Structure 1
Amino acid sequence: MTTEGTFLPDVSLQGPRSVAHRVRLAFSAIRNSLTTLWSRTGVRSTVIDASVFLIAVLDVWLVVPDDAPTYSVYLSALSCGALLLRRWFPFTVLLLATPGFMAGWAQVAAMMALGFLATRKQTHWQVWVGAWLVWMCRFILWPLDEFVALSWQLHALDVIYSTVVAGMPLAIGLLIGARQQLATRLAELAASRDRERKLHAEMVRAEERTRLAREMHDVVSHNITLIAMQAGVLTAAAPGGEAERTARTVRELSTQTLEELRGLVGLLRSGSVDDDGPSPKVCEIPDLVQGCQVPVKLHLDTLPAHVPDQVSAAAYRTVQESLTNVRKHAPGATTVITVSADDEALHVEVRNDPPARAADSGPLPSGGYGLTGLAERARKLGGTVESAPTSDGGFCVTARYPVNTVDDTAEDAEPMETPTA
């Protein structure tokens, strides 16, 4: 099978450009892979926790002197190790980090613990207690005798530095937490607006369905009832003969139409989106052909054991609409209906000859919505409907409906034998 419109470039003329393009594609694939990997919560959390821990350890290792007391090294190590639990116990981690800051060298560990506590708790009392502890750890010099020996100028500088050390992680944590809360609220607001739009659309559709049901019941149903009553009067007034048979047919069709109309009105008022009411089957096509008053040749092959209800109804409606168009636009024309199936789809073809005579009562009104509706139904089921005039002046409607892509819970039916009409 050949595909037209396919262009294969000459690789020999695009050597350097082709290599550069492949390199860009490779870098793009690596970047997408890293982005996907980073977006996974577990990987991202592990990388962040490891980075925080390593930065805190590096801060202690760079500033601790060789002659540092052993207890200060242990307290600093405890402060760094406690950061691994900051996601679950933020306030406890801060309490464990402050001794390593006051009597040790873990200043960055305490600042990180305070920043994460502020991010999680925002203006909770634990945040202010933690900020005061970090401030005191930076202000008080260990051992205490050296702190007492400092001059007032150094104490004033320690107040400034302590405020910076405690205030910077506090401000960053509050900012990050507020940003997260704002993003969450914006997402909730967007979801709420989507729900409101959906509810409003449902309300508008429900009102429109109710209006259509009311109009169908009050206008169409009334007129069809009058037609059925007039046909009954005509049947009683002209017993025997062609007039009685025609009137009886009109009455039967009017009664059947009223029943279908009541079902449609019920569906509209119930607000059901799908066709949950009784629907015609493809096995009822022979009955439809017998009462259509059109010379028809029906070829109905053996169908699969299970045909979804929606596909079966679509095939029936295709034949029904095609026969209606033949009666309206090609009176007296011979029509050939072929219904067949394979492993994937149900096929329907309705082909009629040119009209044999002119319409008895002039052209009937037609809006062209019947074939449009068939096409829309087919697209919904994943199929196709095509219609076009034939070369001899007739018309042909061809439909294809997949039988394996429609979920249906109906029980399997027995295979239908080929009838003859």
Structure 2
Amino acid sequence: MVDVSRRHWESWRQTLFDAGPALCVLVVLAALVIRYGLPDDVNGWTGLVVQTGLGVALLFRRRAALAVTTAVTLGAVAMLLSVYLAPGLLVDAADEGALWVPLATPFAVSGAVLHASRHRLTWVLAAVLTLIATRPWDTSVGVVTAGLLFTAVPVLLGMYAADRQRLIQALTDRAERAEREQHLLARQARAEERVRLAGEMHDVVTHRVSLMVLQAGALRVTAPDERTRDAAEELRAAGCQALEELRDLIGVLRSSAGSPATVASPATAASMVDAGPGGSSDGSVVPLLADLVAESESVGVPVNLVEDGNPLFASPVVARTAYRVVQEALTNVRKHAPGAATRVHVRYGADRVRLTVSNSFPTHPRDTALSASGSGTGLLGLRQRVELVGGTLRARPEPDGGFTLDATLPAYVPTTPMPENSRHGS
């Protein structure tokens, strides 16, 4: 979040830094005009115009510090020459305490040291201005003191400001570097946690489900009646599908922990295309949305399914995620909006899959016990599942009393295949 007040203060401070010195010189010149009146000869007007022009040039001392300091130095040289070649033109030669450098000198030389201290010309110009201001060939305590105040002191102040600016920049860079390192450490910790979670899921869940599948397969072979064999086959198929989905989820966890930008090889992409409807390259079965629609219609929930595009664009992981989104949405409709007309619209694109599940106002009375069942975190878990594959999920109520679930998923999500022995629940 940007600190607007701080940004405005920095803008005003920069404006004052640019305009303040010029205004200071112009105010001094105005005070002199008010005190002594306007010049009555060409020499006086020439000096006033030179001083005013160099004062206005201070507006650019940050953007063109060397150019402004060079102009001020040339003005000082002109004032020095005028004392001997054209007395009274730019300097009153009768005034022994008069400064032979422009009023803009301290601001110009300090700006040059601050913004161009690494340039050799800066120090040459500062030396020339100091020499002219102190006039060592005509020693005078007052002249030397005033000259040092006009040149040497601003140089020291500019050096201090430049060192302070470099120190602040170094501390800022160090803080930003530390913050970036902290973000990298946090990302690494999250990646390691994903890997640990994937390992735990594999070790705990896969083993038990594999045993359940094996036991169901054995029951199907040894069951004495057809009804039991059919139930065992359904149980075995459900267990196999759970293992496939768990494998894909673990692959997503591990690939996200390793490299989110992993690119599939051409062979992998080709095998995905060749998998055909309802299947994937590894033989896993991608669940069909039509089955969910049929299940909902069998319990009295009318659902209109519309699919646009080619489903082959979606990888198995994305297809299963879309399946889970529709499954959760239809479950919520059955629980919270019984009898509501529901529409499922899926659009398959080359780079993304967009699906929308919307329902109207419920037409049947709500079952309180059914509505109160569940943990209440279905949408939260669904959003986390969608974000896990790099998608977005939005849920919003409609003005007519209905509800809309809108999800956008990438068409392809790379996964890290599990070892062969892990696929069998070893």
TM-score, structure 1 normalization: 0.60
Q: For the Cα contact (< 8 Å) 2:69–2:109, is it kept in 1?
A: yes
SS at structure 2 position matched to 1:95 = helix
> How do 1:146-185 residues align onto structure 2 when only pairs under 5 Å count?
148=138, 155-185=140-170
Q: Which residue of 2 aligns with 1:372?
A: 377
Q: Which residue of 2 aligns with 1:299?
A: 302
SS at structure 1 position matched to 2:359 = strand
> How do 1:311-322 residues align onto structure 2 when only pairs under 5 Å count?
313-319=324-330
Amino acid paired to 2:292 = I
Give, in angstroms, the shift of residue 220 of structure 1.
1.2
Q: For the Cα contact (< 8 Å) 1:78–1:97, is it kept in 2?
A: no
> How do 1:186-201 residues align onto structure 2 when only pairs under 5 Å count?
186-201=171-186
> How do 1:201-350 residues align onto structure 2 when only pairs under 5 Å count?
201-238=186-223, 240-271=225-256, 283-286=290-293, 296-301=299-304, 313-319=324-330, 339-340=342-343, 346-347=358-359
Q: For the Cα contact (< 8 Å) 1:209–1:268, is it kept in 2?
A: yes
Aligned length: 325
SS at structure 2 position matched to 1:381 = strand
How many Å separate the matches in 2 of 1:341 and 1:121?
A: 66
SS at structure 2 position matched to 1:297 = coil
Amino acid paired to 1:315 = V
Q: For the Cα contact (< 8 Å) 2:303–2:341, is it kept in 1?
A: yes
> How do 1:367-406 residues align onto structure 2 when only pairs under 5 Å count?
371-377=376-382, 381-383=393-395, 400-403=403-406, 406=407
Q: Does the alignment pair 1:110 with 2:105?
A: yes
Amino acid paired to 1:110 = T
Change in CA separation of 1:336 and 1:95 when aligned onto 2, cut-off 3 Å: closer
How many Å separate the matches in 2 of 1:378 and 1:229?
A: 33
Q: Which residue of 1 aligns with 2:25?
A: 56
Q: For the Cα contact (< 8 Å) 1:116–1:173, is it kept in 2?
A: yes
Give, in angstroms, the shift of residue 410 of structure 1.
6.1
Change in CA separation of 1:304 and 1:232 when aligned onto 2, cut-off 3 Å: closer
Change in CA separation of 1:264 and 1:378 when aligned onto 2, cut-off 3 Å: closer
> How do 1:31-110 residues align onto structure 2 when only pairs under 5 Å count?
39=11, 49=18, 51-60=20-29, 62=32, 66=40, 68=43, 72=47, 75-76=50-51, 79-80=54-55, 82-101=57-76, 103=79, 104=90, 107-110=102-105
Q: For the Cα contact (< 8 Å) 1:79–1:97, is it kept in 2?
A: yes
How many Å separate the matches in 1 of 2:209 and 2:332?
A: 19
Give, in angstroms, the shift of residue 316 of structure 1.
1.2
Deviations 1:157-201 (A, max 9, x none): 322222222133223323333343334333323322221222111
How many Å separate the matches in 2 of 1:90 and 1:49?
A: 11
> Percent identical across equivalent pairs?
25
Q: Which residue of 1 aligns with 2:133?
A: 138
How many Å separate the matches in 1 of 2:24 and 2:367?
A: 87
Give, in angstroms, the shift of residue 311 of structure 1.
7.1
Question: Superposition RMSD on alpha carbons, in Å?
Answer: 4.9
Q: For the Cα contact (< 8 Å) 1:57–1:80, is it kept in 2?
A: yes
> How do 1:354-373 residues align onto structure 2 when only pairs under 5 Å count?
371-373=376-378
Q: For the Cα contact (< 8 Å) 1:76–1:101, is it kept in 2?
A: no
Deviations 1:352-410 (A, max 9, x none): 9699xxxxxxxxxxx966x424345369733269xxxxxxxxxxxx994443xx55566
- Report which stretch shifted further, 175-184 or 259-268: 175-184
SS at structure 2 position matched to 1:383 = strand
Change in CA separation of 1:241 and 1:88 when aligned onto 2, cut-off 3 Å: same
Deviations 1:45-89 (A, max 9, x none): 5x7645544443444563796554676556545534543543443
Change in CA separation of 1:178 and 1:399 when aligned onto 2, cut-off 3 Å: farther
Give, in angstroms, the shift of residue 312 of structure 1.
6.4
Any unmatched runs of 5+ in structure 1?
Answer: 1-31, 142-146, 326-334, 356-366, 386-397, 412-421
Any unmatched runs of 5+ in structure 2?
Answer: 80-89, 92-100, 264-271, 273-279, 281-285, 346-355, 385-391, 413-426
Change in CA separation of 1:200 and 1:317 when aligned onto 2, cut-off 3 Å: same
Q: For the Cα contact (< 8 Å) 1:78–1:96, is it kept in 2?
A: no
How many Å separate the matches in 2 of 1:280 and 1:137?
A: 90
Q: Which residue of 2 aligns with 1:19?
A: none
